[in-house]
Each structure stands twice: as C-alpha cells, then as structure tokens.
Structure 1
C-alpha cells in the first residue's frame, strides 16, 4: 500500500506504510541533502590547478568527494612534498560560499523526505565532513535549516578524524542516544560508506552522482530520493 506526498521539482515523493527498521537515520550532507558536490569540486579542481597542482573535476571527485578538507592538504603533501598556502582553507571556503549563495539547491526529493520523517517522528541527523559553517550556509540557502537545529548537526570538526574513519558517525550516534547497530547512514561517497561500515552501521548508497560500483559495502543502492522512505521500513 502506498500513499502520495506533494510533488517536489515535478516528482511525486511516495512513502511505504510500515515499521521503521532503524532508530536513527544519519544523512551525509554534500550530495545527499544539498546538491553541492558539482559546485565545490569544480572550484576545488580550479583552485588546486591555479596553485600549480593540475587537477580535473573528475580527479577532485575521485580523490576528495566526501572527505574533510584536511585530506586535500594530506594528499598534496604526500604526492608533491609541498604545503598548500596557509590561507588555502579560508580562500576556498570563501569561493564555495559565494557560489552556494548563487547556485546551491537541495537534492531533488529531499524536502519531501525530511517533511515525512519529521511528521512521523523519525529520529534523524546530519553527519558531514564539511565544517559547521559550511553545513549551515548550505541549509539556510536551500531552506533545509527548518529541519536541522543544532542538536541534529555533526561535523568532522567535532572529532579528531574525518571519514573514512568511523569517529564522526559513532559520535553522532552517541550524541543522539542510539546504538550504532540501530543506525542507518545515507551516503554518496566511497569514503563515507567505508566510515559507516567501520562504525558498525547499515548504509544506503545514493548513486545519483556516484557510480554504484564505487559504493561497495552499502546494503542497498538507490538513485532517487523518492525511493528512500521505502528502504527504511
């Protein structure tokens, strides 16, 4: 039995009637809640190339998608023996936030999913490699801030190691008062899937941007947010 929900961007978001299999849904942010990966990875590739580290958009997606910004510093140092400028993070974030203000949108179908989870009292949060500032800037621009107060937002800034380490997801579960085995993570990056698996959580791999073959370890794969509620019951 299915029941309908309002259209978002021309799509009907439908929801299965059933019992939730999990006590907590943990969303990644970039590429899962907000459509930021194309924006940020084009800017990152361009900025690294400006600095003498030739990087294509595809390179950036492969190496940095889903990672905290310290991974960029680590890989450049490892590959070239050079350090990025001290103001690298500040300059990059400035470019990203300016682009977000112009172009950022929610991932299609996400508003309907969050509306339904909130209405049904399902516990959810976001755990992102991005900074708290980046998460909040993106949510304000896209209107998703109505569903995420401070108690539901977790960043790699809160832990010592970002994805693919399990620390962030474990921290989010602990703060939300839910055992890892009762959590499901919605992820679109290989690093994020590895982190969730290492944390002892189930993973639903979102393949709208990422080839399914790169999300090995996820229990289920899907490419349309309208499918997500049915995977939770």
Structure 2
C-alpha cells in the first residue's frame, strides 16, 4: 500500500494560471521572425514545462547566442504585455483549492518574479505565499527531480508522501524521478498520452482534483 499523502505540490503555468497558450503563440512569432520556423506543436513538445534557462539553451543551439539573446528580449516584451491583457486562472482551480484540505505548495519552472506577477494578477498568490519554489533555486530543472525534492524538503515531507499536480511531460517525469505520485492535468495543451505512466492519474477538469486527492490519500 502506498504511503499516505501529506503534501500537494502544484506546478504553476497551465495548472494554476493560463499562461501557456500565450507563451506558445509568442514563441512561434518571435522564433519564426528570427529564422526558426517552429510550429505550435513543436513549442509544446520542446518547451512546455522546461525552465527559461533550458529553453534558452535550446534556442542558442538552434540560432546561436546573439539571436538567442534577441529572442529572449522580444519574447519577454511581448509575453508580459499579453499576460497583463489576457491571462486568467485555470478554470475550476479556485474552487478546487477551496476544497483541498491537505498542505499545498507551488514548484514551477518559472522565476519567482514571474509567479508573483501571474499568481498575483489572478488572486492566487496569497494562497501559496511563503510556499513557492522556483527552478532558479536548483541546478537542474524538470525533467530532473531537483525542484520537487527541494519543495518536499523545505515543506518537511518525505517524497513518497507527496503528490504533484502537473500538466507537462517533463513535469510528470520529474515527479516520477523524485519518487512522487502525480496527477496529470490534460485540460490544457499537453496531450493526455504524454502524461500517462507509472504512478500517474490523468484528468481533464480541475473540479475533479479534490476527489482525486481524497482517493490518493487512501491508496
């Protein structure tokens, strides 16, 4: 029998806030202008769930260091403006958080500055304040387990008693590498089959999350 769940670790982008369609669209526009005619599906496959550092390394390998710097500059300018104009919380997440009684935290590939902006604008920041962890705090981002292990350690919970809520292939891979169970949210851009695998339950509606966590606590 699995250990009882004592901590729920949330990814941020695509799980708490609807930033990913904006990021994908912006990456396609910027990279295509600079000589990488990338498609939305390719952005989802290559970038979704990775840290900014990892994404910039991929862009540098394709376009070279100078154009990678320019791509990052253009992306940040367009992306932040679009976030302020368009971003919303993921449908159903506020109600799900209201119903969850387990301790929670956030562990995201995004920076603390970015999460203050996105979670703040959607009214979610205060729900997690003081319990937010970023890939900037570890050497290796997802799909390596470092970030989730940091979150568990800081929260004082053994990895086997954590469950991760993720929406990216790299995120669920990181959870498995950390020895944690995961709930893969397929209500966004990532195909459900990319999330399927050991110790992972895939779902498509955030309103299902409290019941899934109740089930995980007893299995």
Measured in 2, the distance between the counterparts of 1:137 and 1:62 equals 25
Alignment-derived partner of residue 48 in structure 2: 65
> Hey, what's the Cα distance between the residues in 1 that align with 2:35 and 2:46?
17
Q: Give the structure with the larger helix fraction.
A: 2
Q: CA deviation at 1:152?
A: 1.1
- Is 1:91 the equivalent of 2:74? yes
Q: Distance in 1 between matches of 2:147 and 2:47?
A: 17
Q: Does 1:225 align with 2:182?
A: no
Structure 2: which 5+ residue stretches go unaligned? 215-219
Answering whether residue 184 of structure 2 is matched by residue 184 of structure 1, we say no
Tell me the number of residue pairs that the alignment of Structure 1 and Structure 2 aligns: 209
In the other structure, the counterpart of 1:146 is: 126
Moved over 4 A (4+): none
CA-based RMSD: 1.7
Measured in 2, the distance between the counterparts of 1:176 and 1:89 equals: 33
Residue in 2 that maps onto 1:13: none
Deviation at 1:188, TM superposition (A): 0.6
Structure 1 unaligned regions, length at least 5: 1-19
Q: Which residue of 2 aligns with 1:110?
A: 93
The C-alpha deviation readout for 1:45-73, integer Å capped at 9, x for no partner, is 11111111111112111110111122222
Q: CA deviation at 1:88?
A: 3.8
Q: Secondary structure at the match of 2:164?
A: strand
The structural deviation recorded for 1:81 is: 6.4
Determine the structure 2 residue equivalent to 1:129.
Answer: 109
Calculate the TM-score normalised by the size of structure 1: 0.85
Cα distance in structure 1, aligned partners of 2:25 and 2:200: 30
Q: What's the CA shift for 1:90?
A: 4.0
Equivalent position to 2:32, from 12, 34, 49? 49
Secondary structure class of the residue paired with 1:33: coil
**TM score, norm. by length of structure 2:** 0.90
* 2:56 and 2:68 in contact (8 A); partners too: no
Specify the alignment match of 2:143 in structure 1: 164
Contact 2:30 2:71 in 1 (8 A): no
Separation (CA, whole Å) in 2 of partners of 1:220 and 1:91: 37
* Structure 1 counterpart of 2:154, from 175, 179, 185: 175
Q: Distance in 2 between matches of 1:89 and 1:173?
A: 31
Distance 1:97 1:76, change over 3 A: closer
Decide whether the 8 Å contact of 2:196 with 2:202 is kept in 1: no
